[in-house]
Structure 1
Amino acid sequence: MDPHAIEGAGPGEDYVFVSYCRSDERAATAIIDLLDRAGFHVWWDGLIPGGERFGTLISKALEGARAVVVLWSRQSVESAWVQDEASWARDRHRLVPLSLDGCEPPLGFRQFQCIDISRGGPKAGNPAMQRALRAITDIMGRDPVEVGPVSRLPRINRRSALAAGAAVAVVGGGFAAWRTLIAPGKADANSIAVLPFENLSGDPRQQYLSDGLAAELRSRLSRNSLLSVVGQASSNAFRDRDENAPAIARKLRVANVLDGNIRAAGGQLRIGVELIDGKSGFSKWSRTFDRPMANLLDLQSEVADAVGSALAAQLGSAGKEPTERSGGTTSVAAFDSYLRGKELFDSQRDEASDRAALGEFTNAIGHDPDYAAAHAARSRALAVIANQYAQAGERRRLYGQAVDEARLAIANAGQFPEGHAALGYALFYGMLDIGAADGPYRRALELGGGSAEVQSLCALYRARRRQFDQATAAIERAQALDPLNPSLFKTQGRIRFASGDYTGAIVAARRALELNPKLGGVHGDIGNAQLMLGQIDNAAREFGAEGVALLAIPGRAIVAIRRKDMAVAARELELLRREEGDNGLYQQAQILAQWGKRSEALDVLMHALSVGDSGLVYLASDPFLLSLHGDERFKSLLRQLHFV
């Protein structure tokens, strides 16, 4: 894609990219306004919604920029994101560094003259700003332009330039078009966020029930094709209720907010729900439900139907969810175990929590053998345990059970999308039958297009098959549904990495860490992308911060190989063999391929196939194995896995 096309600029129409830290946004927008009045086309991330549904444009815009203005400050020198963008510009001789507060740039950038604008600020009358403008004109290869009068347009706040900003960027409205935006885009009238229900029982052990009921209500509403329902991670970001409904609605880009609370005491349940106008903050509808705990499932359905009716009154015809897609149960005990399992599984804490979740899903099925949602959830738990923790013998058994559980879910509820997604996942990662997984993933997407999780699973599958157009469309749809979910940005980064967009992979991964600094695997993902960009020292730092051994150890080994330190590489390879055993065979092959030991790498890959190592799903999209692609044994592997 021509990078200029992203903005609607014509061929040869150059532009300036502005890189800054979020805390410096006020100064950044003043400089952008000044550049605009000087006649420069400007790209900045205020053109993209807060959820960054079209985050791919950031890396494309950086690649196509003729000049990159980096705003250094005491805050931005600590920003890895700003440093990555500055490194890209420095290495291509497009860097124009400005100091907002007189601070020095970080190490690696001090050999460039940094223009200190701190005394006069980002104003046309500041001589330092005039020098900055001249520096930009020199890089751009154009004549100086007099700065015009101060713009009278209201300032755009990037936190509120929501879907309208993205629409202009994508459809080609161009640089001039975005300047006319003076208000956020209007959210779809049928969009809604279901916030976590507040636990009023006074017992923190009852939190799973509050969260679970809200999640189930969210899931039921999302299966209605006429509604657009924000995903769980983004909704849960507002658990503490620090912001009012209009502020939450703006950040999630929705027209409606559903809030609620639950009190469980003495065998009785009281649930209060309120539908709130996202623009005004006024209540559209509210209701309180009092029922015995034994009537929990009837109460859940009653609440969902009441909310659906309230939305129907507002929207014309929201309707009820198709019951055949619910995968539900009539057993209160089964539902209770299912909710407990979901809380454990969604926490993604460790092996103990995943195995405890598996136990709860097993209990749920014990209470109701036809509970499709519990079978699908048990399938996913089995597959994750097999993928992340099990050795060869246990792995095969667990994956076989995962396939069986997914098929039971589909048999009990053929239109339950999570059942088809679970089957696709188990066939893909467990049976290593890439072709057989295609049908279940397609069916999951047909039935569950309103689920961010289903979209994300399908996106990663398409990326592993190098079907990047489908993968990108699915992950961007998932991010639109769940814009504050860090795992979706992690997945987006992996899709970009597989496609060869290493700068874009870093941008997406940094966003994931912004949302959740403790998210596992992301530092390793960044390190891998930096290795492909030749940023060896930066990659070493990222692998040092990574807690997932299957990313950290091979990353450190490949860094040592790039530094020609084969003794360290050998130690890391031995550590991987000792600590991960058969679960790290694929990563062993990555190290050996990078070492130039192609025959040994292929031997290990053949062994990985014989024991069912899930890492083989990366085979067709892994740049660390490029040196093996011409070998007949590698081509045979691709055929056996049905990649070709």
Structure 2
Amino acid sequence: MSGDDNPSLAPPRLFISYSRTDLDRARPVIDLLEQGGFDVWWDGRLEGGENFLQTTENALETCACVVVLWSATSVNSHWVRDEAQRGRERECLVPLTIDGTFAPLGFRQFQLLDISGWDGKPDSAEAARILVAVRAKAGEASPPAAPVQRRPDPVLPAPTVQQTGGLALSRRTLMIGGAGVVGGAGLLGAWQFGLLGSPASAAMSMVVLPFANETGDPEKKYFSDGLSRELRSVLARNPRLKVAAPASSSVEGEDDFALGRKLGVAHVLRGSVQRDMASVRVGAELVAVEDGEVLWSDSFDRALENPFAVQSEIAETVALELVAQIASDTEAKQSLAAQREIGGTQSVAAYEAFLRGFALYELSAGDETDRAALVQFDSATAADPNYAAAHAMRSTMLAAIANNVSSDQSETRRLFDEAVAAAERAVAIEKRLARGHLALGFALNNGRLDRTAATPHYRAAEELAPGDADVLRAVASFHAYGADQALAVKMIAKVLELDPLNARAFRSAGYIALFARDYPKVIADMERALALNPSLASAQFAVAIARLMEGDAAAALKAAEAETGEAYALTAAAIAKHRLGDAAGADAAMARLSEAFDDSHYQQAEVLAQRGATAEALTRLEAAYAARDPGMLWTHNDPLLDPLRGEARFKDLLIRLGS
């Protein structure tokens, strides 16, 4: 039986819609698709005597996808618009622009692939993108033909300009944009959930730069920043991609390629976003760091009611562009079949509130911005009660505020209870949301000192976001509080690889080294953290502890005096001065610590333990445990408490902590 006799073996049929005046531009597309193994229907196949309308309608209704060639002529063709409309209704439309003309109104919610610069050669990057787009829509794996090779072209093409509604946009300057939190689309979901087997040993590396805000309104920077962050989060879930973390990706004062080289990545994804009250226009380009070759670029127009699909489209295309170099076409087809949505929303109001809240969260200027962020996440969950990512961030802010409520234990417990409930809601809505599990683990561990209950959620976060440096940093710190120091050290090394310009990452690495008793590394990591951010709180405190453990009390006191966090500074100074024989100075520091920080039971226990006041130190620790002081998380591995480890009361505390 032939392939024509058996529909399951026949190649997918494509319908080409174009204006007859564009035939010379259409023929290379038709030829490419035919060479790619498709059965291409176009009006040149009509034979004399055929019923034109009936034949065309039959082809349009039975095709796998409708490929529309938009041009200055075809946008005014009623035939082309009708055919495109049917492709849209059947959800099988693949729009191409052959001269840079935008699709007409009604069709701008679809990604428009610009092939206006294509020379018609089948071995070009544009040809490869046409085939990828059509195969994805037609659900067809690549045929067993020789793969298309990308033509080396170190010279960047001159920018092309698209105009619509009085706006002129350069394809080189209108770069990346668009998105939502509907992450995990297509091949990204497949890689995340193991459909492709183990990742290649050499991952493709990239940095996603912050979007440029080209809205004309500086206050809308939260929107462009949020879009790039969400896109980065989606790409980071792909174990075949090494994606630089947000903090390192946002370093100012470096040009794009210099930053890429500093981060040790091979590719830069960069861009900008424009928007008005009704629509959003975004674009993207993927550039090789080594020679500046533009590997892929495109622009997108969306109604503001539906900007979310752009993130998935960009993420899929970029991942295909990179991962095709290390994965087969069959794997790509398998991954496209696994499209998933993770923790997102389809509400613009909820999404914008989420982005505003996240901008305030990242600002992290104290209790005021934390509470302002909470208001935004409250608004997001009110607008969409099933917005899992917003519930997770709401939990994160409640826990942050709880940590800052120093004197009212009942208020602290209430806030942590709300944080647990919000995180449980996030996980109930979407069990695959890494940040939901992370928020729940944090609230249980820090708010209730329940390490046993928190452990499975930290493990889930690690498994669900193996390439997210922020998630891995939190999980590594959690492991460092327990018995698995080797795992914590291994994980933080990966974090530093992904986030080498983040002061907080080095601070976390320094504390992990402290709990592992690697004091030279503590000092080295904290010095690196302070070089990146001289005002970073608690970094000098760790240096002071390391110096104390090395027996250099004078150097410890110097570090204590440089510490910006007063409670940390007083704790280290009280111990260092006692070691140096300055009893009055040590007592004064201890008195100030007790006076200024009435909830500093744990820090007071550290000082008393180092002074040899064992019974009193244990009493302070028990008071800290009763208050559910998060400082108790240090108890298992804190070197300052080593003098207490043989005591029965101390061992009982460790049992209660689940350590």
Same fold? TM cut 0.5: yes
Using the TM superposition, give the Cα deviation of residue 208 of structure 1 relative to its aligned residue in structure 2, in angstroms: 1.0
Q: How does 1:372-411 map to 2 (within 5 A)?
A: 372-391=388-407, 392-411=409-428
Rate the CA distance shift 1:325–1:418 in 2: closer, same or farther, 3 A.
farther
Query: How many Å separate the matches in 1 of 2:553 and 2:496?
Result: 31
8 Å contact 1:493–1:504 — kept in the other structure?
yes
Measure the CA separation in 2 of the matches of 1:408 and 1:450. 24
Equivalent position of 2:159 in the other structure: none
Q: What is aligned with 1:272?
A: 283
Confirm or deny: 8 A CA contact 1:224 1:321 kept in the other structure.
Answer: no
Corresponding residue of 2:153: none
- Matched to 2:268, the amino acid is V
Shift of 1:528: 1.8
Whether contact under 8 Å (1:264, 1:270) holds in the other structure is: yes
Aligned to 1:580: 597
User: Is the contact made by 1:256 and 1:275 (CA closer than 8 Å) also made in structure 2?
Assistant: yes
Contact kept? 1:308, 1:320, Cα under 8 Å: no
C-alpha change, 1:321 and 1:197, in structure 2 (3 Å) is farther
Aligned to 2:120: none
> What does the per-residue CA deviation read over 1:29-80, in whole Å, with 9 as the maximum and x for residues that have no partner?
xxxxxxxxxxxxxxxxxxxxxxxxxxxxxxxxxxxxxxxxxxxxxxxxxxxx
Q: Which residue of 2 aligns with 1:620?
A: 636
- Structure 1 segments, 4+ long, off by >4 Å, are 312-325
Contact 1:249 1:279 in 2 (8 A): no
Matched, 1:190 2:204: yes
Structure-2-length-normalised TM-score: 0.66
Deviation at 1:313, TM superposition (A): 5.0
Contact persistence 2:507–2:526 (CA under 8 A): yes
1:260 to 255, 271, 278: 271
The answer to whether the 8 Å contact 1:221/1:321 transfers is no
Q: For 1:569 and 1:321, locate their aligned partners in 2 and report how far apart those are by CA, in whole Å.
A: 66
2:293 pairs with 1:282: yes
Amino acid aligned to 1:271: V
What is the alpha-carbon distance in structure 1 between the residues aligned to residue 265 and residue 241 of structure 2? 11
- Report how far residue 565 of structure 1 moved: 2.3
Match of 2:162 in 1: none
- Map 1:391-470 to 2 at 5 A: 391=407, 392-470=409-487
Partner residue, 2:128:
none
Query: 1:259: how far off?
Result: 0.6
1:116-155 counterparts in 2 under 5 A?
none
- The 1-side partners of 2:382 and 2:338 are apart by 26
Aligned match for 2:370, one of 348, 351, 354: 354
Give the drift of 1:425.
1.2
Deviation at 1:268, TM superposition (A): 2.9
The alignment of Structure 1 onto Structure 2 pairs a total of residues equal to: 453
2-side partners of 1:284 and 1:331: how far apart? 33
Q: 2:240 aligns with which of 226, 229, 232?
A: 226
Task: Say if 1:420 and 1:440, in contact at 8 Å, map to a contact too.
Answer: yes
Q: For residues 366-415 of structure 1, give each alpha carbon's deviation from its aligned partner in whole angstroms, at most 9, with x where no partner exists.
A: 11111111111111222222224443222111111111111111111111
Distance 1:323 1:560 in 2: 61
Letter in 2 for 1:356: A
Distance 2:575 2:288 in 1: 53
Distance 2:232 2:436 in 1: 18
**Quick one: which of 554, 576, 599 aligns to 2:615?**
599
For 1:497-536, what aligned pairs fall within 5 Å after superposition? 497-536=514-553
SS of corresponding position for 1:295 = coil
Conserved? CA contact 2:215–2:275, under 8 Å: yes
* 1:212 and 2:226 matched: yes
What's 1:13 paired with? none
Change in CA separation of 1:548 and 1:191 when aligned onto 2, cut-off 3 Å: same
Q: RMSD value over aligned CA atoms?
A: 2.0
Conservation of the 8 A alpha-carbon contact between 1:324 and 1:414: no
Contact conserved, 2:381 with 2:390, CA < 8 A, in 1?
yes
Distance 1:283 1:439, change over 3 A: same
By how many angstroms is 1:442 displaced?
Answer: 1.2
Task: Give how far 1:189 is off.
Answer: 5.7
Q: 1:608 to 1:544 in 2, by over 3 A?
A: same
Mapped to 2, the partners of 1:611 and 1:554 lie a distance apart of: 19
Counterpart-to-counterpart distance in 1, 2:249 and 2:227: 13
Is 1:629 the counterpart of 2:645? The answer is yes
8 Å Cα contact 1:220-1:326 kept in structure 2: no
Which residue does the alignment assign to 1:610? 626
Could you tell me whether the CA contact under 8 Å between 1:441 and 1:458 is conserved in 2? yes
1:431-469 deviations in Å (ceiling 9; x for gaps)? 101222211111111111111112111111111113111
Q: Deviations over 1:496-543 (max 9, x none)?
A: 111111111000111111222222221222122112222222222222
Q: CA deviation at 1:312?
A: 5.1
Q: Does 1:363 align with 2:399?
A: no
- Is the CA contact 2:306–2:346 (under 8 Å) kept in the aligned structure 1? no
Identify if the C-alpha distance between structure 1 residues 321 and 357 changes in structure 2 by more than 3 Å, giving closer, same or farther: farther
Residue-by-residue CA offset, 1:458-504 (whole Å, 9 max, x unaligned): 11111111311100111111112222221111011001111111111
Conserved 8 A contact 2:402-2:412 = yes
With 511-520 and 613-622 compared, the bigger mean Cα shift is at 511-520
1:475 maps to 2:492: yes
Change (3 A) 1:585 1:325: farther
- Measure how far apart 1:283 and its partner are: 0.4
Relative distance call for 1:320 and 1:515 in structure 2 (3 A) is: farther
**SS at 2:271's partner residue?**
strand
Equivalent in 192, 213, 217 of residue 199 of structure 1: 213
In terms of mean alpha carbon deviation, does 494-503 or 341-350 score higher? 341-350
Give 5+ residue unaligned stretches, structure 2: 1-200
**1:321 Cα offset (Å):** 11
Residues 1:336 and 2:348 are matched in the alignment:
no
Instruction: Kindly indicate whether residue 588 of structure 2 is the aligned counterpart of residue 571 of structure 1.
Output: yes
Measure the CA separation in 1 of the matches of 2:300 and 2:321: 15
Give 3-state SS (helix, strand or coil) of 2:210's partner: coil
Counterpart secondary structure, 2:305: helix
Match of 2:255 among 207, 231, 243: 243
Superposed, 1:72-151 pairs within 5 Å as none
Partners of 1:401 and 1:244 in 2: CA distance: 42
CA shift, 1:228, in A, is: 1.8
* Separation of aligned partners in 1, 2:306 and 2:324: 27
**1:320 positional shift:** 5.8
Letter in 2 for 1:373: A
Q: Which runs of 5+ in 1 are unaligned?
A: 1-186
> Matched residues in 1 for 2:413 and 2:339: separation?
34
State the distance in 1 between where 2:337 and 2:397 align.
26
* C-alpha spacing 1:464/1:518, structure 2 compared with 1 (3 Å): same
8 Å contact kept, 1:223–1:450: yes
Which residue is 2:576 aligned to? 559
Structure with larger Rg = 2
Deviates more, 1:301-310 or 1:441-450: 301-310
Identity %: 40
Deviation at 1:626, TM superposition (A): 1.0
1:76-121 Cα distance to aligned partner (Å, 9 max, x none): xxxxxxxxxxxxxxxxxxxxxxxxxxxxxxxxxxxxxxxxxxxxxx
